[in-house]
Amino acid sequence: MVDWASIESKWRERWRGTEVAHADASREKRFITVAYPYPNSPQHIGHGRTYTLADVHARFERMRGRNVLFPMAFHYTGTPILGMAERIESGDEGLISGLVDLYGVPRERIPEFADPVKIARYFHEEIRSGMVEMGYSIDWSGEFTTIDPAYKKFIAWQVRLLRERGVIVQGSHPVGWCPRDSNPVSQHDTRGDVEPDFVEYTIVRLALEGGRVLPAATMRPETVYGVTNAWVNPDMEYARVRVAGAEWLVAPECISKLSHLDAGPVESTGTSVRGADLVGLTARVPGVDRDVRVLPATFVRADVGTGAVMSVPAHAPYDCAALEDLRRAGGEAGEIARSIRPVQIIQTEGRGEDPAGELVAAAGVASQGDERLEGLTKDLYAAEYYGGTMLPGTGSLAGMPAREAKEAAAEWLAGEQRGPPEAMYEFSNAPIFCRCGTACVVHVLSNQWFIDYSSAEWKALARRALGALEVVPPEMRPEFEHVFGWLRERACARQTGLGTALPWDGGWTVESLSDSVIYMSYYVVSRFVNAGRLDPESLDDAFFDHVLLGRGSAREAAASCGADEETVAEVRSEFEYFYPVDSRHSGRDLVPNHLSFFVFNHALVFPERHWPRQIVVNGSVLMEGKKMSKSMSNIIPLRQAVREHGADPIRLAILSSAELLQDADFKLDLVRSSSRQLESMISECARIGSGGGGEASPADEWLGARVRETAGTVSSLIERMRLREAVRHVMAGLDADLAWHARRAAPSGGGAVALREAWAARAALLSPFAPHAADEMWESLGMDGTASSSAWPGSSARGDDAALLLSELAVASAMSDIQRILRSARIGASRVTLHVAGQAKSRAHDVMLRAAEGGAADIGSMMRALGADPGAAAMRRDAAFVKRTLSDILSATPRERRLRLEGDADEAAAYRSGLAPLVAHELGAELVVLGEGEGGGPKAASARPFKPAILVE
């Protein structure tokens, strides 16, 4: 067993400091960043994936000679940590035992976790240690947190700049709200950790005779043209309240909801009215200007909406059923109901003129109390919302798809009704309770700050930035384009949580997805702050304007912020050197938010030459086939995994379990087998050591060529972040080559020099993926320095590489054919005779190969190509040969075809020098290599190029 812990710590010591990068005009730079972590828990395998990918990228670029800046920071901004602190303070045993038992937090430290910053610091250190232990080659000199004073200055500068550019706007916005605390609630504030989710109802003010208003709340404002009557519950009391300058009749439960809409005071104006007393009144539908009657319905609920409902019997099953109930019951209301006909206003494929009526009839609904009405309503709503079109007679809505009409109708009604409240909200997952026990309501904040991502010019700019960068893998680009299309206003500040105060409105804190959009530019600054060369307190807008945007002079900026001029100039030049971001790595869950905001904000803030160059998106990680659950049950903390299995085995397991975009299934089996593979590679290198000598055999030359070829393949795979495949080439691919080389070297012995060179190259190729093991191998081989600081193995082929590789393919293929014959014929052999195809056949093969590469691969084209070549024309007569040779060519790999075109291999010579010893050694048989016409064997004529005729005796 390899002792990973001691190997890893040994190499970490040796590497210390080598990852720090500074501006160096003589070298090409690469700025590689990963989304910084949120320190509210230790990192697990899933987090490890993104960071490992980025680290491989950074290590690879470094070995290729690039000056790589790969920094890290910690995102303290946000509310979850605050929520945790509050729960700790209130003694939440569930959370505490989770922290202690699953996350391994020492119990004596729990009390200090009542302070959210202490929580963040704790997990910050935890995560940082894990990153170091995983061998990530992070440059820590620019490390910061998002609540550092200097970072806050940076964010203040950023939001002021965004406001100057006109993208920060104020508006109203509904949130879950605790009336007792007068504070917004989100998931971690609620009992049972429920995320408040709500739906919007449009208020339609039905004007009763005498000036009173009966407001109906509806989720389908587009159906207002189909209203035939209004519903009230006859058994309910309706409160009289003054709202927006008129007297409204609403359910008592509605009063508090109205008062949270930020639409002025809601005052009681007298005693309540019984629903039954409203029946029969005439109400005017706003906008449509149609008079309808108020009718009684028992399905109307006091706790939903306003307590009054508009009736659209053509499109609402409840309304349809309630009218039918009235008709049957008779009386005055029944008379009115009988006179009502459904008004169809939406046409939907596959539905008739009375969609609700048809559904109700088909289901055999007996009354408005039927429970199936709920389901029917949902079905019809979904069908019409997604597939319906507004019919003529619906004013400006006519012809619109229903889903568009919904928004348009809400807007139009708001205009008709002049002034708020226009909409009200209900929790869709009610009831929701605050942790203090109070029932929550939906509250409208009218002074909410937004970043307005909806602006057309900004979108155009962002699309240009997206078009100019590389998305890896390319399949993700359409998803970005789609997101860019629907991005709208986004709340950019909250009233609680850690972070930076809005400079112009101190009650608000910049929200976490808004203070993380251009922070990569701040890494350059933070290194100067950490080094004590900049005073965090004195950093001001003039400073950031200069160093990040090049505005003004270093002298002016220095004067303004009190730093010395050279320092400011140096920050500016470091920034100019390292920006733009060459590669941004993150999980795909950040595509619709962070990564999109990252592009938008860069496009707006920075000049085009500083726009990001590449985004790399990876899928998530499953544990043994299952999704990692937030309940922490199957989450393995990364540090624990490193302690138990070693960093490199985990790195390999993460990398080789899936290609970039797919969900990686993390299996301990894979970790263990990776560990074994690395162990055997290390011990093989130890066995080879630094010694060796002797002449290089053809097999040795071949091995060198194979290593060069592999290096080229691996490079191009890493460039496309196809790391799984790259790892396979380094591990399995070279394994097979080394095994073949061992077979070939067995008869003659030797090969030690070539072997050592091949293993050294292999160690270097492995280094980005498994850096500790690679350096251990490198050292065993007696190489200078470290694999991780060595130059990436050369991949350019030497002159005769193609011929070497091709000859060896021929040898291997003939050997495998011979063995196959022996196996299937169940015979032994004392002599194997090979007949190698003659000159005319070779010529014909080349002609056909070129023709096939040119795209014409049918027999007819082959015949024509052969006819056009004097040296090969004669072979046309041998139709069987042409047919078989064509299928040989077509079934060859692209690589092999390329080698056949490029390489000038002497088949017969390859068999004599390479195959004969192998046949003698492994089969104990003599190999005779003859020309096609020699020896007159029965099979000789069937020889084809790279497919010799074989006779076993």
Partner RNA sequence: GCGGGAGUCGCCAAGCCCGGUCAACGGCGCAGGGUUUAGGUCCCUGUCUCUUAGGGGUUCGUGGGUUCGAAUCCCACCUUCCGCACCA
Of the two residues 438 and 593, which places its CB atom closer to RNA in the complex? 593
Stretch that binds RNA, among 209-217, 411-419, 483-491, 685-693 (CB under 7 A): 483-491
* 260, 494, 756, 900: which one binds RNA (CB under 7 A): 494
Stretch that binds RNA, among 208-216, 299-307, 484-492, 842-850 (CB under 7 A): 484-492
Least separation in angstroms between residue 253's CB and RNA is 24
In angstroms, the CA 247 to CA 270 distance is: 10
Amino acid of residue 702: W
> Per rule CB under 7 A, is residue 411 in the interface with RNA?
no
Of the two residues 70 and 453, which places its CB atom closer to RNA in the complex? 453
Stretch that binds RNA, among 227-235, 280-288, 414-422, 891-899 (CB under 7 A): 891-899
3-state secondary structure of 139: strand
Of the two residues 306 and 448, which places its CB atom closer to RNA in the complex? 448
User: To which residue do tokens 């890493």 refer?
Assistant: 718
Question: For 342-370, b where at least 16 C-beta lie within 10 A, e where not — what string?
Answer: bbbbbbbeebeebbbbbbbeeeebeebeb
* 589, 608, 902, 904: which one binds RNA (CB under 7 A): 589
> Per rule CB under 7 A, is residue 713 in the interface with RNA?
no
Kindly state the tokens that stand for 932.
Answer: 């096609």
> Per rule CB under 7 A, is residue 387 in the interface with RNA?
yes
In angstroms, the CA 782 to CA 692 distance is: 11
Name which of residues 176 to 235 contact RNA (CB under 7 A). 184, 186, 195, 197
Count of CB atoms situated within 10 Å of the CB of 953: 13
* 18, 24, 895, 909: which one binds RNA (CB under 7 A): 895
Of the two residues 383 and 558, which places its CB atom closer to RNA in the complex? 383
* 32, 376, 590, 810: which one binds RNA (CB under 7 A): 590
Least separation in angstroms between residue 16's CB and RNA is 30
> Per rule CB under 7 A, is residue 491 in the interface with RNA?
yes
Q: At what angle do helices 355-363 and 372-387 cross, to 10 degrees?
A: 150
- Residue 68 makes CB contacts below 8 A (sequence gap 6+) with 19, 21, 29, 30, 31, 32, 58, 61, 62
What Å distances lie between residue 492 and 171, 361, 764, CA to CA?
11, 50, 46
> Per rule CB under 7 A, is residue 386 in the interface with RNA?
yes
> Helix, strand, coil proportions of the chain in percent (round to 5)?
50, 15, 30
> Per rule CB under 7 A, is residue 942 in the interface with RNA?
yes
Name which of residues 233 to 262 contact RNA (CB under 7 A). none
> Per rule CB under 7 A, is residue 725 in the interface with RNA?
yes
> Per rule CB under 7 A, is residue 38 in the interface with RNA?
yes
* 43, 77, 560, 614: which one binds RNA (CB under 7 A): 77
3-state secondary structure of 697: coil
Of the two residues 244 and 899, which places its CB atom closer to RNA in the complex? 899
Stretch that binds RNA, among 89-97, 205-213, 482-490, 635-643 (CB under 7 A): 482-490
DSSP string for 343-412: ---EEETT--SSHHHHHHHHHT--STT-THHHHHHHHHHHHHHHHEEEPTTSGGGTTSBHHHHHHHHHHH
> Per rule CB under 7 A, is residue 712 in the interface with RNA?
no
* 114, 863, 892, 941: which one binds RNA (CB under 7 A): 892
> Per rule CB under 7 A, is residue 669 in the interface with RNA?
yes
Residue 627, strand partner residues: 622
Least separation in angstroms between residue 22's CB and RNA is 30
Query: Nearest Cα to 661, choosing from 761, 562, 579, 591?
Result: 591
Of the two residues 168 and 297, which places its CB atom closer to RNA in the complex? 168
Name which of residues 618 to 657 contact RNA (CB under 7 A). 625
Least separation in angstroms between residue 83's CB and RNA is 9
Query: Nearest Cα to 698, choosing from 810, 783, 794, 795?
Result: 810
In angstroms, the CA 865 to CA 7 distance is: 61
Cβ pair 393, 150 in contact under 8 A:
no
User: To which residue do tokens 């009704």 refer?
Assistant: 417
Of the two residues 200 and 237, which places its CB atom closer to RNA in the complex? 200
> Per rule CB under 7 A, is residue 172 in the interface with RNA?
no
> Per rule CB under 7 A, is residue 48 in the interface with RNA?
no
Least separation in angstroms between residue 48's CB and RNA is 16
> Per rule CB under 7 A, is residue 497 in the interface with RNA?
yes
Pattern 449-478, binding to RNA, x per CB under 7 A?
Answer: -x--x---------------------xx-x
> Per rule CB under 7 A, is residue 500 in the interface with RNA?
no
Least separation in angstroms between residue 409's CB and RNA is 18
Cβ pair 759, 781 in contact under 8 A:
yes
DSSP letter assigned to residue 78: B
In angstroms, the CA 709 to CA 696 distance is: 19
Kindly state the tokens that stand for 594.
Answer: 């962070």
DSSP string for 292-347: EEEEE-TT--SSSTTSEEEE-TTT-HHHHHHHHHHHHH-HHHHHHHHT------EE
Stretch that binds RNA, among 75-83, 151-159, 433-441, 568-576 (CB under 7 A): 75-83
Name which of residues 6 to 35 contact RNA (CB under 7 A). none
Amino acid of residue 32: I
Of the two residues 713 and 790, which places its CB atom closer to RNA in the complex? 713
* 661, 752, 920, 941: which one binds RNA (CB under 7 A): 661
Least separation in angstroms between residue 226's CB and RNA is 22
Cβ pair 729, 717 in contact under 8 A:
yes
> Per rule CB under 7 A, is residue 594 in the interface with RNA?
yes
* 134, 513, 636, 642: which one binds RNA (CB under 7 A): 513
* 132, 414, 696, 821: which one binds RNA (CB under 7 A): 821
> Per rule CB under 7 A, is residue 880 in the interface with RNA?
no
Least separation in angstroms between residue 130's CB and RNA is 17
Amino acid of residue 541: D
> Per rule CB under 7 A, is residue 883 in the interface with RNA?
no
Of the two residues 647 and 664, which places its CB atom closer to RNA in the complex? 664
> Per rule CB under 7 A, is residue 482 in the interface with RNA?
yes
Least separation in angstroms between residue 61's CB and RNA is 21
Q: What are phi and psi of 205, to 5 degrees?
A: -85, 100
User: To which residue do tokens 């804190």 refer?
Assistant: 509
Of the two residues 327 and 724, which places its CB atom closer to RNA in the complex? 724
Name which of residues 533 to 572 contact RNA (CB under 7 A). none
What Å distances lie between residue 566 and 26, 110, 198, 562, 572, CA to CA?
21, 46, 55, 12, 10
Of the two residues 526 and 657, which places its CB atom closer to RNA in the complex? 657
Query: Nearest Cα to 666, choosing from 42, 103, 45, 50?
Result: 45
* 172, 530, 567, 593: which one binds RNA (CB under 7 A): 593
> Per rule CB under 7 A, is residue 276 in the interface with RNA?
no
Of the two residues 96 and 661, which places its CB atom closer to RNA in the complex? 661
* 78, 305, 388, 768: which one binds RNA (CB under 7 A): 78
Least separation in angstroms between residue 190's CB and RNA is 12
Of the two residues 396 and 629, which places its CB atom closer to RNA in the complex? 629
* 179, 592, 712, 747: which one binds RNA (CB under 7 A): 592
User: To which residue do tokens 């193995």 refer?
Assistant: 793
What Å distances lie between residue 286 and 207, 240, 289, CA to CA?
8, 20, 6
In angstroms, the CA 614 to CA 677 distance is: 33
Query: What is the size of the binding site for RNA (CB under 7 A)?
Result: 75
3-state secondary structure of 290: strand
